[in-house]
């Protein structure tokens, strides 16, 4: 059990270490590392991102706390808060160590041309990853059976309700560009209830 | 520059910041600046700028980066530790409580309807985040190629994301070296 806990902590350490450009950059990593290992299912992951967006605190920390808790149910470890504490610590640790080194030793190594060159390649990679996650999620909402990653090109089930919800939300987002994420998610939740509850 | 009277004061300040920030690290910066620079006078605008720049070129959770850096400036290692804990603990408490009810809560019919909508919103928010990031980089041919290849590979194959990141970093270094060699030849 302790071994499983440590293995999961190592995954979160890696996620914390390879996150660039805000909490969203960790979503592709979480999808491949956490969902890929069947710790939570993909719907729960994206549902909870919605919750993490509308509760206080950094998204990365919120996600680590939640998945830590869920994984404890899987492992059958009773004090579920233990998983939350361990995973949250693990995801924060790389930042803490790296910034501590920079704050105490100075940021000279950041001026190294190797670091700069690496970032020239890393940034577009991260952006590509984040967009792929978003596109895959939209496709999955509209074609639930389609799974590009697993070469399943089944589009026989077409969820028009989700397509309408997506369309309306994109429209809202075009008109109110500065809409707060919380309000946006709230409107989306209402739309979901209306589309599925009334029709 | 002023100092907090006690580490607990530092902890509580960052706890407040963590408790009122919605939507991630960058949203936290204006609040952190107001509290730590204006109200308390523990740090300067220059410190805030520095951590923004450092976070551009270091990995990690942005809010933790900021808390660690500012905490260290204020009170050394213990300051960094206390500020980081402060910024994390509100999430830990809130999300732990929510986690206990989340799965049952989701099984309520109308809540499950709501989450169809929420997933669509999340997809759009993720896209927006990527779009915002893309505005901060300069797209030449090399950068655009990396972007497109990484997107397509991530979309169509189940290749490990960590390998893609590693490949991106290595290609970036190779590209940098080639450009340098070219410039050296010209000169």
Q: Do A98 and A26 belong to one domain?
A: yes
Task: For B79-122, write each residue's pLDDT tens digit.
Answer: 999 999 999 999 999 999 999 888 888 889 999 999 999 999 99
CB contact under 8 A, B116 and A195: yes
Closest residue on chain B to A56 (Cα): B22
Per DSSP, what are the bridge partners of residue A147? Answer: A152
Q: Which of A28, A98, A185 sits opposite B60 (nearest CB)?
A: A98
End-to-end Cα spacing for chain A: 47
DSSP secondary-structure letter at B60?
S
Q: What percent of chain A has pLDDT over 70?
A: 99
Distance from CA of A42 to the nearest CA of B (A): 11
Q: Which two tokens stand for residue A182?
A: 């919380």
Closest CA to A88 of B83, B165, B61, B56: B61
Q: Do A167 and A102 belong to one domain?
A: no
* Domain-located, residue A121: no
Q: Which residues on B lie below 8 Å from A108 (Cβ)?
A: none
* Domain-located, residue A83: yes
Last residue of a domain, one of A41, A74, A106: A106
Residues 9 through 68 of chain A touching chain B, CB cutoff 8 Å: 14, 16-24, 27-29, 31-33, 36, 43-44, 46-62, 65-66
CB contact under 8 A, A99 and B157: no
Residues 13 through 72 of chain B touching chain A, CB cutoff 8 Å: 18-26, 28, 50-51, 54, 57-65, 68-69, 72
Q: Which two tokens stand for residue B83?
A: 């500020």
* Domain-located, residue A153: no
Last residue of a domain, one of A74, A106, A138: A106
Task: For A65-80, write each residue's pLDDT tens digit.
Answer: 999 998 888 888 778 8
Domain span at residue A19 reads 2-106
Per DSSP, the three-state class of A147 is: strand
Q: Do A18 and A90 belong to one domain?
A: yes
| Complex confidence, ipTM | 0.89
Between helix A113-142 and helix B161-186 the angle, nearest 10°, is 140
Q: Do A85 and A163 belong to one domain?
A: no
Q: CA–CA separation, B46 vs B49, rounded Å?
A: 5
Q: Report the pLDDT value the prediction gives residue B150, as an integer from 0 to 100.
A: 95
B108 at the A interface (CB within 8 A)?
Answer: no
Task: For A81-125, write each residue's pLDDT tens digit.
Answer: 999 999 999 999 999 999 999 988 887 777 788 888 998 999 999
A178 at the B interface (CB within 8 A)?
Answer: no
Are A98 and B58 in contact by the 8 Å Cβ rule? The answer is: yes
Q: Report the pLDDT value the prediction gives residue B174, as an integer from 0 to 100.
A: 96
Mean pLDDT of B172-185: 93
Mean pLDDT of B9-14: 94
Q: Which residues on B lie below 8 Å from A49 (Cβ)?
A: 122, 126
Q: Report the pLDDT value the prediction gives residue B10, as an integer from 0 to 100.
A: 94
Q: Do A94 and A182 belong to one domain?
A: no
End-to-end Cα spacing for chain B: 48
CB contact under 8 A, A128 and B148: yes
The domain ranges of chain B are 7-107, 137-187
* Domain-located, residue A24: yes
* Domain-located, residue A93: yes
Per DSSP, what are the bridge partners of residue A152? Answer: A147
Q: Which two tokens stand for residue A86?
A: 């361990």
* Domain-located, residue A23: yes
* Domain-located, residue A118: no
Count of domains for chain A:
2
Q: Report the pLDDT value the prediction gives residue B23, as an integer from 0 to 100.
A: 65
Task: For A156-177, write each residue's pLDDT tens digit.
Answer: 899 999 999 999 999 999 999 8
Reported as a pLDDT band with limits 50, 70 and 90, residue B132 is confident
Distance from CA of A1 to the nearest CA of B (A): 20
Distance from CA of A98 to the nearest CA of B (A): 8
Q: Which residues on A lie below 8 Å from B64 (Cβ)?
A: 58, 61, 92, 95-96, 99
Best residue in A78, A82, A131 to probe B by mutation, most B CBs within 10 Å? A131
Residue A142: CA atoms inside 13 Å, Cβ hemisphere, count? 13
- C-alpha separations of A36 from A32, A33, A99, B133, B134 in Å: 5, 5, 30, 26, 27
Q: Report the pLDDT value the prediction gives residue A22, as an integer from 0 to 100.
A: 67
* Domain-located, residue A18: yes
CB contact under 8 A, A22 and B26: yes
Q: What is the pTM of this model?
A: 0.88
Q: Do A8 and A102 belong to one domain?
A: yes
């Amino acid at each position: 059990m302790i071994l499983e806990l440590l293995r999961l902590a190592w995954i979160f350490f890696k996620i914390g270490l390879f996150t660039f450009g805000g909490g969203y950059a960790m979503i592709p990593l979480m999808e491949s590392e956490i969902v890929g290992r069947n710790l939570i299912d993909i719907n729960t992951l994206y549902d909870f991102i919605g919750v993490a967006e509308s509760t206080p605190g950094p998204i990365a920390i919120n996600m680590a706390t939640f998945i830590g808790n869920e994984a404890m149910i899987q492992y059958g470890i009773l004090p579920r808060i233990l998983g939350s504490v361990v995973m949250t610590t693990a995801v924060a640790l790389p930042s803490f160590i790296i910034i501590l080194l920079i704050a105490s030793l100075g940021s000279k190594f950041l001026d190294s041309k190797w670091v700069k060159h690496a970032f020239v390649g890393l940034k577009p990679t991260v952006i590509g990853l984040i967009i792929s996650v978003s596109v895959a999620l939209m496709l999955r909402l509209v074609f639930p059976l389609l799974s590009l990653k697993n070469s399943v090109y089944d589009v026989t089930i077409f969820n028009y309700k989700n397509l309408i919800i997506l369309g309306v939300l994109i429209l809202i987002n075009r008109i109110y560009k500065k809409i707060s994420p919380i309000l946006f998610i709230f409107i989306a939740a209402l739309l979901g209830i209306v589309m599925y509850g009334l029709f | 520059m002023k100092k907090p009277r006690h580490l607990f004061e530092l902890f509580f300040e960052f706890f407040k910041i963590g408790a009122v920030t919605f939507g991630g690290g960058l949203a936290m910066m204006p609040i952190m600046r107001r509290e730590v620079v204006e109200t308390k006078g523990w740090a300067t605008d220059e410190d805030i700028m520095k951590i923004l720049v450092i976070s551009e070129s270091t990995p990690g959770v942005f809010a933790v980066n900021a808390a660690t850096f500012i905490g260290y400036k204020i009170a050394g290692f213990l300051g960094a530790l206390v500020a980081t804990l402060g910024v994390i603990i509100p999430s830990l408490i809130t999300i732990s409580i929510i986690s206990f009810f989340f799965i049952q809560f989701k099984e309520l019919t109308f809540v499950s309807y709501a989450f169809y909508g929420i997933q669509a919103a999340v997809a759009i928010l993720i896209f927006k985040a990527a779009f915002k990031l893309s505005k901060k980089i300069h797209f030449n041919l090399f950068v655009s190629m990396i972007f497109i290849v990484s997107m397509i590979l991530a979309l169509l194959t189940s290749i490990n994301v960590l390998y893609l990141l590693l490949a991106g970093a290595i290609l970036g270094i190779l590209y940098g070296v080639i450009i340098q060699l070219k410039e050296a030849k010209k000169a």
